[in-house]
């Protein structure tokens, strides 16, 4: 990954101090015997997997989780030595790659174990985490016979070790969902199935961010902290009942690149969907849907310019979009899309609610065209311009 200057007037700022404080808050919330697995999949939810991983480990996390083997290998190639678990399915023919890079894999199919073993050489070993489907309906074993068969198949392989067992809650972010307790019960039952086989995995985990916030004493011995490590509540329901403070780490900024006065009847952007009703000052911003600032964000959306909220006007283009300014402003004036300016704030939740989606989606959509500036304790640590890497 190349680091250095960038040559556009749009950038994201990632405050690693917030990541650090969020992990430490979880460390205080959770029992001393419960470790923290920091989830850095999807390039750290758009924040940057490598700097987030380093910060989380320094703050007290002991394990990392990703979705893909490719993500795990990238972290290893950048010097990360901590244990890493791939949460999704890895192709059995790629088992040798996992062994080479010392990556733990998720398993839920006995046939996978047999095939993966055939791709491993003498001396190669892989730690496995057995996934149990207790109600998410995505991946995982679903009954006693399937689960025990898988465990016994693992035991027959000299290359594989059952290091962990886990499940994932579908509705832990809903305060009144009976499914949460049902999943707890099903997972406890699955642990009894494992005990019957004699298996004793080191790690037992069911706590995503929501479950870890709500039931810190019930999530066994390692918590998977994802969205809340980045300072975001898992849902609107939980936002108002959080047991610890969460600090949002991601801000998105740009600058005015053009300012013009339009007359009544003048139109703005593709399709001429916006028509000025009076004399107006229109500012152009160098960000668009190719940067992950989607067209739907223009629907009643706002930015902050001059310390006040200003509406988007017209359709968002691939590389640019327009806002209606309260008065004539200057080219180069800063505009905040996510974050604080003056007394105004636009949070990730604000953008998500306005567009009828969840806060998880917003930072994940901001593409590599947008440079990242990493800060800690108010000091810039590095500037990352991924686009220079191809």
Active-site amino acid positions: 41, 270
> Which DSSP state fits 207?
B
Whole-angstrom distance, CA of residue 31 vs CA of residue 7: 47
> Which DSSP state fits 179?
H
Angle at which helices 69-77 and 49-59 pack, to 10 degrees? 70
Q: What is the β-pairing status of strands 267-268 and 274-275?
A: antiparallel
Angle at which helices 179-197 and 144-155 pack, to 10 degrees? 40
Angle at which helices 110-117 and 144-155 pack, to 10 degrees? 10
Which residues line the annotated binding site for substrate?
Answer: 138, 318
Whole-angstrom distance, CA of residue 184 vs CA of residue 203: 16
Angle at which helices 16-29 and 49-59 pack, to 10 degrees? 40
Helix (H, G, I), strand (E, B) or coil at 323: strand
Which run of H or E residues covers position 69?
helix 69-77
* Residue 34: how many other CB atoms lie within 10 Å: 19
> Which DSSP state fits 219?
S
Contact indicator for 72, 52 with CB cutoff of 8 Å? no
> Which DSSP state fits 328?
-
Whole-angstrom distance, CA of residue 252 vs CA of residue 13: 6
- Determine phi and psi for 346, rounding to 5 degrees: -120, 115
How far, in Å, are 252, 290, 359 from residue 46 at the CA level?
A: 12, 15, 12
163 burial type by CB count under 10 A (0-12 exposed, 13-18 middle, 19+ buried) = middle
């Amino acid at each position: 990954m190349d680091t250095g200057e960038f040559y556009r007037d749009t950038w994201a700022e990632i405050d690693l101090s917030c990541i650090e404080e969020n992990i430490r808050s979880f460390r205080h919330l959770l029992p001393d015997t419960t470790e923290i697995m920091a989830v850095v999949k999807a390039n750290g939810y758009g924040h940057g997997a490598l700097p987030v991983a380093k910060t989380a480990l320094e703050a007290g996390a002991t394990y990392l989780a990703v979705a893909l083997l490719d993500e795990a290998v990238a972290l290893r190639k950048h010097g990360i030595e901590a244990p890493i678990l791939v949460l999704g399915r890895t192709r059995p023919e790629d088992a040798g790659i996992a062994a080479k890079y010392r990556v733990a894999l998720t398993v839920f199919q006995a046939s996978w174990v047999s095939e993966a073993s055939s791709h491993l050489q003498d001396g190669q070993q892989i730690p496995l985490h057995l996934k149990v489907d207790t109600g998410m309906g995505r991946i995982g074993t679903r009954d006693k016979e399937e689960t025990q068969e898988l465990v016994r198949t693992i035991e027959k392989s000299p290359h594989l070790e059952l290091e962990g067992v886990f499940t994932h809650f579908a509705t832990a972010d809903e305060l009144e969902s009976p499914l949460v307790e049902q999943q707890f019960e099903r997972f406890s039952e699955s642990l009894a199935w494992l005990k019957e086989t004699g298996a004793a995995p080191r790690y037992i985990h069911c706590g995503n961010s929501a479950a870890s916030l709500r039931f810190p004493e019930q999530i066994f011995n390692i918590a998977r902290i994802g969205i809340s490590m980045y300072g975001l509540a898992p849902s609107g329901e939980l936002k108002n009942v959080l047991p610890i403070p969460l600090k949002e780490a991601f801000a998105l900024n740009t600058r005015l690149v053009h300012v013009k006065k339009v007359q009544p009847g003048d139109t703005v952007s593709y399709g001429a969907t916006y028509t000025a009703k009076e004399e107006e000052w229109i500012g152009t911003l160098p960000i668009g849907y190719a940067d992950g600032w989607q067209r739907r964000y223009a629907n009643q959306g706002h930015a902050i310019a001059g310390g006040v909220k200003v509406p988007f006007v017209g359709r968002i283009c691939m590389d640019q979009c327009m806002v209606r300014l309260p008065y004539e402003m200057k080219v180069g004036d800063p505009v905040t899309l996510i974050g604080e300016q003056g007394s105004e704030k636009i949070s990730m939740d604000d953008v998500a609610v306005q567009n009828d989606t969840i806060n998880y989606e917003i930072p994940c959509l901001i593409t590599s065209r947008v440079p990242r500036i990493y800060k800690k304790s108010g000091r810039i640590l590095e500037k990352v311009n991924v686009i220079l890497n191809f």
